[in-house]
Each structure stands twice: as C-alpha cells, then as structure tokens.
Amino acid sequence: MSKNKTEKVTITPAKGRPMLHWVGKRPLTNLIAFPPQHIETFDPVNSGQIYNNRLIHGDNKEVLATLLANGYRGKINLIYIDPPFDSGADYVRKVSLRGITGEAKIEGENYTFGEQIQYTDIWANDNYLQFMYERLLLLKELLASNGLLFLHCDTAKNYHLRCLLDEVFGANNFANEIIWKYTKFAGKNSGFPSNHDTLLVYSKSNEYVFHKTRIPVNTPRKQTGRVWDKELKKAVQKKDEQGNLVYYDQTDKEVDDTWTDIQIVNPVAYERQEFPTQKPEGLLERVILSSTNPENIVLDCFIGSGTTAAVAQKLGRRWIGCDINKGAIQTTSKRLQRIILDQIDTIQKKQPELFSTNDCETELLGPFNDIDPKVGALSFSVYRVNDYDLQIQHNEAVNLACEHIGIERKKTDTFFDGTLGKNLVKIIPFNHPLSPVDLEEIKKELEARPDEDRAISVVCLGMELAAKAWIEEWNRLRKGQSAVNKFEVIELRSDNKYGGFLKHEPAKAKVKFSRIKDIVKIEIEDFISPTIITRLQQQAGLLQPKIDDWRSMVDCVMIDTNYGGKVFNISVSDVPEKKNDLVNGKYELQDVKKDSNVAVKLIDMLGEEVLISKQI
C-alpha cells in the first residue's frame, strides 16, 4: 500500500435476481481510491514484515476501494462483517477514568463521564439499503473465488439484507443461513423475546473452502444399577430438573446451522472491550476455522472492538480490519498488541533460539508452526485513508454543537444532522473549514430531493473565502419570500449568536527525557486533558470523579525509540490489562543510539492523542 496518488476503481454491476428497489438506488460503477497513509507500526520482533496485517482508519467504502487499487481484488479468503443493523439504537461508548470506581446516573442510565457516540444506526430505510448495497458490491470484488462472506445481522434487517446479497452475489451462491441462539436477560415487554442473530453466508462459486466442525455433547444413558461398572464410572454424572442422578456419555456431533453453544460476551468477561456490539471470540473462532486455512486473509470492514482481528491473529490467519471510528481503531490496536506480546512470550519460552536471527518472523511462520500452529505474523501496521485523524471526534462535536445551538437531531436522515426552527441543518466536519466542495455536496443532495424547499443552516468551524463567495452567488439567485433552499452559515468561532462555544484545547503532557550512556529514561511528569475536564464540568450537580493522579486520564502509552516524523514504530507498549490499572509513567530503554529522536505517544480515555518527542 505505497501508492501516493488517487485512481479510479471499476466495480462489476450486480446481475443477480431478485432485485430490490428503493428510492435513490444508484449503481456503483467506479469510485476514487485514495492513497493510504502509513501512520503506525507494531513490530516488537523487528521483523520488518509489516505487510501481513493491516488496521485502517477511514470510511470503509473508501478503504475497500483503496484495497482494490492495491492488489487485493479477489485475494480475500474470508469476509466477516457485523454492520449497523438499522435497529433504531444509539451505540454509545462509555468511557471511565482509570483507577476510579463508582458512577453517577443521568436520566436513569448508568453514566460515568464523557460518553461518546461511536456511530448511530438510526437510518432512513432507503439510505441504509444504499449504504449496504455499495459496500457489498465492493466486498464481492475483494472476495476470492473460493472465499466466503459472513454477514451478521438481527431481525431488523435480515430479510432486506438477504435480498441485497441475492442481487449482488446471485441467489445460487447462497451457502447458509446460520441462527446464533443465545440467552439475554432483558426482553421486550410484550411478545416473545428476541434471543438470536442471523449469519447470512454467500460465496462467489460452487467451490469454496469449508471445514466441518464437531462439538462435544452429553447424551443420557440408562443406569445399569452397578455403580462399580467401569463404563458407568467413565460417564458424566449430573442431576436432572427433578434432582435425580443421571449418567451421560460424552460424544460429539457435527455443527449444523443452529448454534446454541456460544453465549454473548459476559459483562465481566476478560475479552470484554466495553464496546456495545462486541461479539464473542468463540463465534468468530467457529467462523474462521470453518472457512479458512492457515495464513489466509480475513477481512472485517466494521472492525468495532477488534474481535475478528483478535481471533484471526490467535489462529494464525492474516487479517485486515477497518473502521471509520477512531476509538474502534485504538481499541483494536491495544487488543492486538496484548495478543501478539503474549504470543511472543510463549515463543520465547518454548523456542528462544528463533529470536537470535534478524529475520525471525520468516522462521516463525515455518518452524514455529510445529510448536503452535496458531501463530502467524507477529506485527501489524496502521493506515489512514482520506485523513480521518480528528483531534476531537466528529460525532462528539456534533452532539455538543446541537446541544449548544438548540438543533433538534433528525435521526431518520443520514445526510442532514437535524433542524433548527424551520431550517435543515448540515454540520461540516470540524477538521476543516467550510469549502465549496462541502457546499456542492449539499447541492447534490438537494437535487435528489426536488420537493425539499426549506432553507439550509450550515454549521462549521471556519470558512474559506471561496465558500463565502459560493453562498453569496447561490442566495443571489434565490430572492423573495418564496425563495427555496437559501443558505445561512453558523461559524462557531465568530457567529454573533452562537459563536465562541467550541474552543478545543488539545491535551498536553509534560515529559522528562534523560540519558546515561546507551540507556534512556523517560518520566511522564504530568498530563492534562481539557476535554475530559470539560465533560466532568458538564455534570454540574452530580457526583464527579476526583482526579488525583494524571494517569487516571490516560488509556495507554507507546514509545518509539527512533521516530522519523511520519510512521510511529511502537517499541514500548504500556497498555494496562485491567480497567482500574494505571500506566507506569516511568520507562527505561536499553541500547538507544545517540541522537535518536525518541517519541512518546499518550492516548487519553476519550481517544485524543498527544505526541512528545526529543532528540537525545
């Protein structure tokens, strides 16, 4: 993924039947592939082989196009996606300070502080179908001829999604409908509780990789009355519902299309990542083992908490994960770092001589498989597509702006953010000033809505002069009381009525560097996140956590001992295992060359990053 210019990617049209229709349905024939920006590497064994596993931050539509333009067309062996379900739920990332217990409550919901909207799957039906249609077309191009796609969905949209899959892949390439039955403790007030999800499985041909799976089961047997019977003693003793002792034989059976032996992630499970839609590792293990071979490539373009990548890593598969949400990328990165370090620790104990060579990862893919076939590449790289590196997450900023201005959120519209009085509201991402490109996008959307006559309030953080001229010309052509779709701009830093509220002050850190010969010592003396402090202050009147230790605001610390200014190569990773554990804050690095540019990256509990470097 080294190309540095955009290019067009062509997409094969869907020809399957039946065909689903909706308002605004558009074929996806070609799109622009943006050059990926390599921003971070985790390669603790210094193999240099960073191409095996990739974590990509960006809109997955653009990421998939970039993968197609960079040699992955027809190369992905397994695709598992768990997309938004259009279920009418707001997914909220609940973030708490490290080392601090207790939580306040707001409107009856558990609340700590700094709740961040990860993404919202409240969609207008037509917009949702177009969203999924475009991504399925791209995924089909990436899938290998003998590969499988697993689409995870619930009862809200499984019937629509199956129609889309029939159209994109062809009904003849339907492979399975898997029912995942689990137990939930909360159900609807009326009707039968919904306690299952559906996995729709499609291929590109009649020949695809599939390995049958068997699971242990206990079958009841008749008691012979001879308790000293050797065969009976081998059986499992259990009590039935009436309390009678029953003996069972342990056997196994082939797994069918109804999975009842895998439960949802327990609230106190070790694998839990505090991600609302997280799926259990056992589910992904079954999917990956049944439909891939070692060293195959697994893709999840809605990576979320990183379960797909985590399981693929443990099973020796290569993986690619992407997400538009920066918090998801950070969560997945931390999770994979822990897994890889555990794998390395296992290798060092069993076969330490493998680490005596400079090309140890190449050897690990061979000899180490004799020790534990579940280990593949021991590194991954992080990329960004189309620059989504925001200092403050867009969705959080949107919520703040709506609350401050008085915008009523419009949860059935994926383009406009809400209404302000009679006006439609469009909030421009705060990582760039309002530009003519943004305005052309609004114009294009209005052209698709010929009956829409409301004025448009455009909310932004800064505005280009060319955008100002564009709006003046647009409004000049729309004079009189009957004029439709006039534009007005709310510039949040200068507007007379609403301006001045959003002054993002970045997090700051005080770091002390010192050297004694080849040993570099790093001490983080202080850290402050104004964003976290602001969120605490917004809970006026509530019991607020008291910050006695700056480390409670820091999620993790990473160090690059030779930072070149572009790609951050993680040499030291301080990621506390438990929620209440704190980062160390003091580090001693061995064998650091003189005049090396040592960089420290701190990520706070809201996902904001601070990078401090010094040549020492």
What does the pLDDT look like over 330-382, one tens digit per residue?
A: 999 999 999 999 988 888 888 777 665 444 444 443 333 333 434 568 899 99
User: What pLDDT is recorded for position 228?
Assistant: 42
Band (pLDDT 50/70/90 cuts) for residue 190 is low
- 397 versus 442: the higher-pLDDT residue is 442
**Res 187 pLDDT > 70:** no
Q: For residue 225, give every residue at least 6 positions away whose Cβ sits within 8 Å of its Cβ, in sequence order, or none.
A: none
Rounded distance between C-alpha atoms, residue 13 and residue 142, angstroms: 14
Fold adopted by 508-615: Immunoglobulin-like (2.60.40)
Average pLDDT over residues 5-25: 85
Band (pLDDT 50/70/90 cuts) for residue 105 is very low
**Res 112 pLDDT > 50:** no
Instruction: Identify the CATH class of 7-13+39-86+123-183+191-213+257-385.
Output: alpha beta
Instruction: Give the residues across from 408 on adjacent strands.
Output: 419
Look at 482-496, 509-523, 594-608 and tell me which has the smallest mean pLDDT: 482-496
User: What pLDDT is recorded for position 51?
Assistant: 55
User: What pLDDT is recorded for position 212?
Assistant: 92
User: What pLDDT is recorded for position 236?
Assistant: 61
**Res 612 pLDDT > 70:** yes
Helices 307-314 and 281-291, packing angle to 10 deg: 60
Nearest in space to 323 (alpha carbons), one of 43, 517, 611, 64: 64
Average pLDDT over residues 234-258: 73
DSSP 132-200: HHHHHHHHHHHEEEEEEEEEEE-TTTHHHHHHHHHHHH-GGGEEEEEEEE---S---SSS----EEEEE
Band (pLDDT 50/70/90 cuts) for residue 545 is low
Residue 242's region, left for phi above 0, alpha for psi from -120 to 50, else beta, is alpha
For 564, other C-beta atoms within 10 Å of its C-beta total: 10
User: What pLDDT is recorded for position 17?
Assistant: 85
**Res 125 pLDDT > 80:** no
**Res 486 pLDDT > 70:** yes
User: What pLDDT is recorded for position 523?
Assistant: 96
Q: Is the pTM of this model over 0.85?
A: no
- 385 versus 539: the higher-pLDDT residue is 385
Helix or strand or coil: residue 80? strand
**Res 569 pLDDT > 90:** yes
Rounded distance between C-alpha atoms, residue 264 and residue 284, angstroms: 12
Phi/psi of residue 532, each to 5°? -65, -45
- 575 versus 249: the higher-pLDDT residue is 575
Question: How much is the mean pLDDT over the chain?
Answer: 80
**Res 36 pLDDT > 90:** no
Instruction: Give the residues across from 245 on adjacent strands.
Output: 239
Query: pLDDT digit string (tens) for 500-522?
Result: 555 667 889 999 999 998 899 99
User: What pLDDT is recorded for position 155?
Assistant: 85
Q: For residue 361, give every residue at least 6 positions away whose Cβ sits within 8 Å of its Cβ, in sequence order, or none.
A: 45, 47, 49, 377, 378, 379
The percent of residues in the chain predicted with pLDDT above 90, rounded, is 41
Domain ranges for the chain, please list them.
7-13+39-86+123-183+191-213+257-385, 214-254, 394-491, 508-615
Band (pLDDT 50/70/90 cuts) for residue 487 is very high
User: What pLDDT is recorded for position 124?
Assistant: 61
User: What pLDDT is recorded for position 188?
Assistant: 56
Q: For residue 62, give every residue at least 6 positions away whose Cβ sits within 8 Å of its Cβ, in sequence order, or none.
A: 31, 32, 33, 34, 385, 386
Rounded distance between C-alpha atoms, residue 428 and residue 412, angstroms: 18
User: What pLDDT is recorded for position 140?
Assistant: 97
Alpha carbon distance, N-terminus to C-terminus of the chain: 32
* Tokens (6 digits) for 100: 């601090």
User: What pLDDT is recorded for position 364?
Assistant: 41
Rounded distance between C-alpha atoms, residue 261 and residue 398, angstroms: 41
Band (pLDDT 50/70/90 cuts) for residue 537 is low
**Res 524 pLDDT > 90:** yes
Band (pLDDT 50/70/90 cuts) for residue 29 is confident
**Res 114 pLDDT > 80:** no
Contact 222, 203 (CB under 8 A): no
**Res 167 pLDDT > 80:** yes
Average pLDDT over residues 250-276: 73
Q: Classify residue 462 by its DSSP letter.
A: -
Q: Which amino acid is at 131?
A: F
The percent of residues in the chain predicted with pLDDT above 70, rounded, is 75
Run of H or E residues at 443: helix 436-447
SS3 annotation, 558-572: EEECCCCCCCEEECE
Helix or strand or coil: residue 419? strand
* Tokens (6 digits) for 43: 């390669």
Average pLDDT over residues 199-226: 81
**Res 168 pLDDT > 90:** yes
Report CA-CA distances (Å) from 405 to 115, 171, 556. Answer: 20, 49, 34
Contact 594, 520 (CB under 8 A): no
Pairing of strands 54-57, 380-385: parallel
Q: Which amino acid is at 589?
A: L
User: What pLDDT is recorded for position 172?
Assistant: 95
Rounded distance between C-alpha atoms, residue 66 and residue 63, angstroms: 5
User: What pLDDT is recorded for position 402?
Assistant: 81
**Res 149 pLDDT > 50:** yes
- 193 versus 250: the higher-pLDDT residue is 193
SS3 annotation, 231-289: HHHHCEEEECCCCCEEEEEEEEEECCCEECCCCCCCCCCCCCCCCCCCCCHHHHHHHHH
Residue with tokens 């309030």: 457
Look at 133-147, 206-220, 531-545 and tell me which has the smallest mean pLDDT: 531-545
Helix or strand or coil: residue 314? helix
- 574 versus 242: the higher-pLDDT residue is 574
Run of H or E residues at 598: strand 597-604
Q: Is the peptide bond before 35 cis (omega within 30 degrees of 0)?
A: no
Residue with tokens 């047997």: 221
